[in-house]
Structure 1
């Protein structure tokens, strides 16, 4: 071990704290934006809701399945440890590398840019249009600097101990949960119109892709193959909006009674977020005509709904403030948890050695700053949105492999105590594997410009693994 008894992870996070990390890491800006793309792709209210419900069900099944693994291996690194124990260090390294290369850091960068974008909405001088430097295709805007500053501030806070990160996470997550519930309730009470609701559900299950031509909305019927392509595009957004729930497993070493509380936090956090997401979309359908959801300006469905509820000025500012709070809290959870993977990788000799040491505040300070540096560079790259699109393919691949690990460990390590058993085993875990595998294949088929680079990043880990072994 690279730590002493005095310098080790301290179990200081309660069940509430862990649940706030699950929910807070899941809720970013997606719920305010993604419904527009889903509506355009699927073409009807019933299918739009089906994509959100399916994402919620799939996420809940995965989270409940992870409860068994978290009870078996309540250690820092979470999913990395599960893969190492179920398979081997090579598979675990591919996951850790992909997390560092694109999943964790790319998500941090994209969420930071969403934060900066809405700060710029309230203060235009801090926005993307205020370009400071242009060199060829490279542009540096004030918004990019705001995004990087937010990452640095959150990283610094989290290097000072898990208690600081815990306070930010709990306060910001409770704030955005209450804000979202408030928006939904006000929308259903004040903004809902029976004629809009009835019109939106008149042809709820007639699928079709929507586009605007000559100022008119054109609906194109979907063939069977085109329908599956639309599902792939839609699920890319809804699943990503529901992702990052697994981050709580990375900080198992700092959770009280992790054998039980991680599983409970996974269930509670994912269930709360799923209910909020479904309710928010029902509210959109009660407040906005379907075409206004599909073609909301810059896909800002949340802004369009809030303007209908509160009026143009107040509504837009309300959503901007909510997204700023939501993204800041979301990134705190991502930053807090991510470095724990690199800590465990470093202990295995598969990452920078110093990332395997804890600082005087008993957190992996070096790993936090390495993560901060790479996420900041991704903000500068201007390619964070492309990276975000690549993320969901890699996420699905490793979720499938991890849940398959439950079957492997039942056979190879039956003697290990299990605080929880995977809910609905073997049917529900097997169902998740089938659904997630099908979605990954659909993404390769219909979104190759994003899925293939995502696959390439995973495969790049193969030579890196053998380089790391040689150095080890």
Structure 2
């Protein structure tokens, strides 16, 4: 039985509305990264014109990638998402390796690092000791895993509430930035960068990382009530909304702080609120950043379990993962497994000085390797599966997928060149999956 067919009680049903899908995608992408990366981008762009241009370019590259995904999701709708595309293009061995990477590195690592952001922002508000970030992160994973086990309606409903609160907060920051005059004394107290530099390539690394997550649409294409053909519209609208949000909030940062103060900042959102609303504003943006990360964690848990389900459906050794609860419309064993691995990674991060950075190093190279493989799979399937109807064909083929693959290849190189030992650990876990395949085949 194919996971996207909808036949039988052990397969997903098309219950998601288009607005549900857009809420999930926007919620994954617009996370706490927008409170961390603008200062890094400012440090490597120098002028405000180039700064905003990099964010616009990030939206354009993401839109190109979304168009590639739109062809794959409409031609091959399946709850397995990327896993299913890679299975069709490269076979069971490579698809298994990807599923292994999702379970052990990519998705669980992403859940852990997002949960750490929640912990990092909540710890100053209510301190629980030296391991407070890890404790908060663990509680987040447990709570949101239970929420998603309760069912797709409860999970997407929670996502809508979290996203609504997050959008209100982002709108507040944008409004404060443009309408409230900053305190000259508070501005003067902020540090200013001494040596701005221009490194557009490195700036784009941070921008595209902040845009990351829209590809999770592939995992819900088979559950879209309007049919997988509507995923094109869902992806394009979501990317445009995300790009608009990023341009507005970054414009507010520039307007209040200027490029020099942005580049020197380690928490640009907190600095903006400190010079406009004072300490109450600092508390508010701390809560907001935690909520932004919480929204992304919930959406990532929701989509991540779908790959585990597909793995269990296709490989007998993992058949216990391929069980779908018809009443709640959720893969309960897959959710539980994902939660346990994520908690283990949070524990691993607690042993380091910076849990968040460790998880970034751990996940980035493996993520961009498979993202590149997805771009290649589009071109492979054009030749290998010519007879399959394609309701949507990516425009300007093959230029569009080549641009997408080039972007992914550059980010793969950057993630290996600029990250620490954690990157090598992530690659080692991926290679371990190759050996494991031969054991269970």
Structure 2 length normalisation: TM-score? 0.89
Task: Give the corresponding residue for 2:186.
Answer: none
CA distance in 2, matches of 1:36, 1:70: 35
Task: Give the corresponding residue for 2:55.
Answer: 52
Distance 1:318 1:161, change over 3 A: same
Whose strand fraction is larger, Structure 1's or Structure 2's?
1
CA RMSD of superposed structures (Å): 2.6
Task: Give the corresponding residue for 1:208.
Answer: none
Distance 1:191 1:31, change over 3 A: farther
Picking from 25, 28, 33, the partner of 1:25 is 28
CA distance in 2, matches of 1:174, 1:221: 37
Picking from 127, 150, 163, the partner of 1:173 is 163
Contact 1:240 1:392 in 2 (8 A): no
Distance 1:216 1:312, change over 3 A: closer
1:177-326 equivalences in 2 (<5 Å): 177-191=167-181, 217-219=193-195, 227=199, 231-232=201-202, 234-296=203-265, 299-309=266-276, 311-326=277-292
Query: 1:304-341: per-residue Cα shift (whole Å, max 9, x none)?
Result: 112233x2212212211211221111111001111110
Picking from 126, 150, 165, the partner of 1:160 is 150
Query: 1:169-218: per-residue Cα shift (whole Å, max 9, x none)?
Result: 1222233223323322331232489xxxxxxxxxxxxxxxxxx9xx8843
1:99-178 equivalences in 2 (<5 Å): 99-123=102-126, 125-126=127-128, 130-131=129-130, 141-178=131-168
Contact 2:166 2:288 in 1 (8 A): yes
2:90 is the alignment partner of 1:87: yes
Q: Which sections of structure 2, spanning at least 5 residues, go unmatched?
A: 184-189, 350-354
CA distance in 1, matches of 2:286, 2:79: 35
CA distance in 2, matches of 1:120, 1:26: 23
Quote the offset at 1:41 in angstroms. Answer: 3.6
Picking from 456, 459, 465, the partner of 2:437 is 465
Task: Give the corresponding residue for 2:387.
Answer: 415
Q: Which sections of structure 1, spanning at least 5 residues, go unmatched?
A: 132-140, 194-211
Contact 1:2 1:357 in 2 (8 A): no
Contact 1:103 1:394 in 2 (8 A): yes
Contact 2:109 2:345 in 1 (8 A): yes
Quote the offset at 1:15 in angstroms. Answer: 0.2
Runs of at least 4 residues off by over 6 Å:
none
Task: Give the corresponding residue for 2:359.
Answer: 387
Contact 1:70 1:258 in 2 (8 A): no
2:310 is the alignment partner of 1:344: yes
2:352 is the alignment partner of 1:362: no
Task: Give the corresponding residue for 1:373.
Answer: 340
Contact 2:16 2:224 in 1 (8 A): yes
Quote the offset at 1:444 in angstroms. Answer: 3.4
Contact 1:30 1:237 in 2 (8 A): no
CA distance in 1, matches of 2:97, 2:9: 32
Task: Give the corresponding residue for 1:96.
Answer: 99
Question: SS at 1:289's partner residue?
Answer: helix
How many correspondences in the alignment?
427
Contact 2:118 2:294 in 1 (8 A): yes
2:406 is the alignment partner of 1:434: yes
Distance 1:191 1:371, change over 3 A: farther
CA distance in 1, matches of 2:155, 2:81: 18
CA distance in 2, matches of 1:220, 1:288: 15
Structure 1 length normalisation: TM-score? 0.84
Contact 1:288 1:305 in 2 (8 A): yes
Contact 2:369 2:412 in 1 (8 A): yes
Contact 1:250 1:337 in 2 (8 A): yes
Query: 1:23-76: per-residue Cα shift (whole Å, max 9, x none)?
Result: 001121110111122223444434433432332221111111100100011111
